[in-house]
Each structure stands twice: as structure tokens, then as C-alpha cells.
Amino acid sequence: MADSLASIPVTMSTLAGRGAAHPAPVSGFWPGIGEALRRYRPWILGLQWLVVLGYATLLVVPAWLPLPAEDSHLWNDISRFAQFAFWGLWWPGVMVATVSLGRVWCGVLCPEGALTEWASRRGLGLPVPRWMKWSGWPLFAFLCTTTYGQLISVYEYPKAALLILGGSTLAAIAVGLVYGKGSRIWCRHLCPANGVFALLAKIAPLHYAVDRAAWEAHGPQKYVDCAPLVDIRRMKGASDCHACGKCSGHRDAVWLSARKPWAEILDVTIKPKLRDVWMLLFGVLGIATMAFQWSSSPILIDIKMSTAEWLLDHGHDLLLQNDAPWWLLTHFPEANDVFTWLDGAVIVAYLVGGGAALGVALTAATAIAARIAGNDGPGFARLALGLVPLGAASVILGLSMLTISHLKAEHLSLDWLGLPRLGLLAAGALFSLFLAWRLTHGVRLTRRIASLLAFAAAPALMAQIWTTVFFVW
């Protein structure tokens, strides 16, 4: 297969406006893959619609069926299968794919991306308003959907999944119908997962490399058809690229290429964005970590019980009522799963307060490390991005908990998972420490070591949290 892909003629001689002098066409396995994605684009579009069909079926059908019986299984109940597909396979798989291949899920398979682009090509085509370009939307949307999802138990119940995922999909279609012209405005500015994907793609060993000199050799060009609106000519990293392959070979300058996983974060020509830093520290490492572990936390139980006792002692029992609708707080009496208003308040406080506290602690450790490194160091924002591998390990560990819970429900023995979990956590921590060491290159040795020790407090804190979740609680 490698030989056949490598033999694909990697050239864009059919493009109009080709100049007289051009670099030799690039050849090789990875450029061949990129060319295959471009050449077989119609097949990829067909695959996207198959994914849309499967996504809609698994999302809508279970929501109209009774809750699964206790003795049902993945192979004989569509609701259980859908839960496992979405939360046991899809989300963990997407994160692993993004770390290893870049944002190929976004460009090749994502149903929301396909639908919003399809709608945009048939919509009003209005210009994107300034408020929609606010850089804080990805973090805000991520925090809101993560918190709301926990309140209605999105991982457990089909109706909750339909509300969260279906609502997001409808919003993506609506944005496509109003704004842009053949563009993924939703994906670019509003998708709740966009910030997470952008972070994880920074350490992907594959990206579309742009040869600026080869590009300029073809003369001026005003427009490039890029659905997520990436300025391809100036593109240096994989964060914003959806890896769809549509621009492969464009102007003999854009090729899918292998790179070192640390190349993008260490590249001093790529200016770090504070929105990525806050998404990492307060989103991926902050509130997401709290969302994965609140249901097993004895701390949360102690807070809830002590608060409930205080309310009863003082004659305030309103928060102890469980009359909230299912779309606001979990309310499924048939499954003996009903949240009180106090449950909801404590969960929000635990997620938001705990996530903020964790984010502040990680920010402090990184800021102190950057301060110790001094003016010769990378600065706070760039050094903070050294925690991306740790964030990737953390979010994959958290999502894999859902996979494991589904498999354990099928009575599979998974007692051996402790070591692989520790291995993934250690790999993320060591990779982050490696990046911090490389980022402080040029700093005097004593200050460099002191900076690394301060930075190490962040991986140490995350390691403590996850080992407590896995081996203590």
C-alpha cells in the first residue's frame, strides 16, 4: 500500500494560472496520502453523509425508546450500543486520532462539520459578525456544555445526549444557513470542542506543511477554498487545519508531512495565543478533570451531606426537592436516578470552583517557572503550552473511564488497566517536562533547573489527582 500511495503523481499541473518555473513535485508516502484525500474527495463526502446517517440514527432512535433493562447488553439493545458508540468509542477515539493524526476527524468524518458546510453553501452567505469572532467563545462553550452535560447526565441517558449533541448539531446547521459561503463558521468560532482539538493537534506527528517560496512562485492569489477559513499561505502549525486534504499539492506548496511531535510548540515563529493557554489550563486540565471525577469524589459527597444537614437544621428544604425537569437536572425515576436542586448546585460548585482552583494552581506553577527563567526564557504563554501533552493524557484518561465503565458492565475483567493508565499519565508528564526543558534552552543552567522544578509542580499535581481517582477513590 505504501508503494501505491507513494506512486501517486503529486503535482498540481492542472491548476489554472501555473507559472513557468516551479519546484519539483513532492513524492513519498505521506504526500501520497494527502493527494489521495484530495483526489478522492467525492468519496470522502459520501463517507461523511454515511457518518451523518449513523450519527442521527444512534442519537435520535434511543431517545424515543424506554430506558434499557438492567439485563440488556451492547449487542442486543440499541440504547446501550449508542451510549458505548458515543462515549466509549467516539470521543476517546477522536482525541487519540487528533493527537496522532491531527484534526482528521474534523475534516474527514465530523457530522457537524459536514452539515454546517453543506448548509453554508445553500444559505444566506452573510458576513461573520464581530461578536462571533470573540476569541473566548471556544472556552466559554466548552465550559458551558461540560457543566450542563454533567447536570443532565449526558453520558447515561439518550434524551440528554440528544439534547446536548443534537442541539449543537442544529446550532451548527443554523449558523451555516446564515453565515459564510461554503465555510465552516461554526467550527471556526463556536464549536465547543474546537479549542480542545486545536490544542491536541499541536503535538500531532502529521501536518500539512506549506512551502512559502513555492507558493509565491505561482504569483498572487486572492482566494483559497478552505472551509475552516485558514490562511493556508501563512499556515505554520496544525491547530486550525482540519486535515481534509482539499489543499494538498495546491500551488505545488502544500503537502501532508511527518514532523516531530514537539516541533510546533518549540517553533519560535509561531506566536502562542492566550486563548489556547486558558483553554488548556482552565478547560482541558481544569474543569474537564473535575467533570471526569466528581461522581466518585468523597469530597463532593461530604460537601453535599454537610450542606443538606445545615439546610434541614435551619428549616430550609427547598433545595432538597427533586422536582426539576430532566432537561435541567437529571430526573429519571424509572432508573432511580433523580437529582435534587442541591445536587445540581453542589455539582456546579464542584466543577466550576474546583476547575478554577486547579487552573489557578497550574497557572501559578507555570508563571513562577517562567519568572525564574527570566528574559532569556520562553515567557509564560509559550511555557504553558508545554503542558499540552499532559492535557492530552488527562483528557484521554478521563474519556477512557467511560469506555471502561461500559466494558465492566459487560462483566469484562479489566483489573490489569492500572499499569497502562500510569504509563499514559507518566508519558504525558515526561513529555511536558521535556518540552519545558527544551523551551528554556539558552537560560543559565542553574536558573533552567530551578525553572524546570517549578514547572514540574503542574505535572505532579495532575498525577496526584489521577492516581487518587484511580487507586484511592
State which H helix or E strand residue 257 sits in.
strand 254-258
Gyration radius of the chain's alpha carbons: 24
Query: How much is the pLDDT for 182?
Result: 86
> Can you state the angle between helices 418-439 and 388-409, rounded to 10 degrees?
170
Helices of type H across 25-183: 29-39, 41-60, 78-83, 91-101, 104, 111-120, 137-151, 158-161, 167-178
How far apart CA 431 and CA 420 sit, in angstroms, is 16
Between residues 171 and 25, the one the model is more confident about: 171
Question: Mean per-residue pLDDT for 383-389?
Answer: 98
**Encoded amino acid at 281, one letter:** L
Q: Give CA angle at 179 (177, 181), nearest 5°.
A: 85
- Answer yes or no: is pLDDT of 21 > 60: no
Give backbone dihedrals phi and psi of 332, rounded to 5 degrees, phi first. Answer: -130, 80
Q: Is residue 354 part of a domain?
A: yes
Query: How much is the pLDDT for 22?
Result: 44
Return the closest-CA partner of residue 243 out of 205, 277, 275.
205
| pLDDT single digits (tens) 410-440 | 888 888 888 999 999 999 999 999 999 999 9
Cell of 398: 478521563
Q: Is residue 231 part of a domain?
A: no
- Answer yes or no: is pLDDT of 265 > 60: yes
| pLDDT single digits (tens) 39-79 | 999 999 999 999 999 999 999 999 999 999 888 888 889 99
Q: What is the DSSP string of 38-68?
A: HHTHHHHHHHHHHHHHHHHHHHHTGGGSPPP
Q: Is residue 307 part of a domain?
A: yes
How far apart CA 473 and CA 467 sit, in angstroms, is 9
At 13, is the pLDDT very low, low, confident or very high (cuts 50, 70, 90)? very low
Q: Is residue 209 part of a domain?
A: no
Query: How much is the pLDDT for 25?
Result: 54
At 223, is the pLDDT very low, low, confident or very high (cuts 50, 70, 90)? low
At 17, is the pLDDT very low, low, confident or very high (cuts 50, 70, 90)? very low
pTM: 0.91
How far apart CA 266 and CA 185 sit, in angstroms, is 29
> Can you state the angle between helices 341-348 and 137-151, rounded to 10 degrees?
150
Return the closest-CA partner of residue 454 out of 327, 366, 326.
366
DSSP-derived 3-state class of residue 179:
strand
Q: Is residue 80 part of a domain?
A: no
Cell of 114: 459536514
Residue 473 burial (C-beta neighbours within 10 Å; 0-12, 13-18, 19+)? exposed
- Beta strand 254-258 with 337-338 is unpaired
Return the closest-CA partner of residue 116 out of 228, 216, 250.
228
At 16, is the pLDDT very low, low, confident or very high (cuts 50, 70, 90)? very low
Quote the number of domains for the chain.
1
At 1, is the pLDDT very low, low, confident or very high (cuts 50, 70, 90)? very low
Residue-range definition of the domain harbouring residue 403: 274-471
DSSP-derived 3-state class of residue 206:
strand
How far apart CA 234 and CA 212 sit, in angstroms, is 8
Torsion from C-alpha of 103, 186, 155, 142, nearest 10 degrees: 90
Cell of 351: 466543577
How far apart CA 396 and CA 288 sit, in angstroms, is 11
At 279, is the pLDDT very low, low, confident or very high (cuts 50, 70, 90)? very high
Q: Is residue 422 part of a domain?
A: yes
CB neighbour list of residue 35: distance below 8 Å, 6 or more residues apart: 8, 9, 10, 245, 248, 249
Q: Is residue 48 part of a domain?
A: no
Query: How much is the pLDDT for 70?
Result: 85
Return the closest-CA partner of residue 420 out of 433, 407, 404, 436.
404
Return the closest-CA partner of residue 116 out of 188, 193, 51.
188
User: Could you tell me the CA-to-CA distances from 334 to 66, 67, 74, 79, 342 in Å, in that order?
Assistant: 10, 8, 20, 15, 21
Q: Is residue 56 part of a domain?
A: no
User: Could you tell me the CA-to-CA distances from 213 to 27, 231, 391 in Å, in that order?
Assistant: 18, 15, 35
Facing residues of 13 across strands?
none
Torsion from C-alpha of 283, 286, 288, 291, nearest 10 degrees: -140
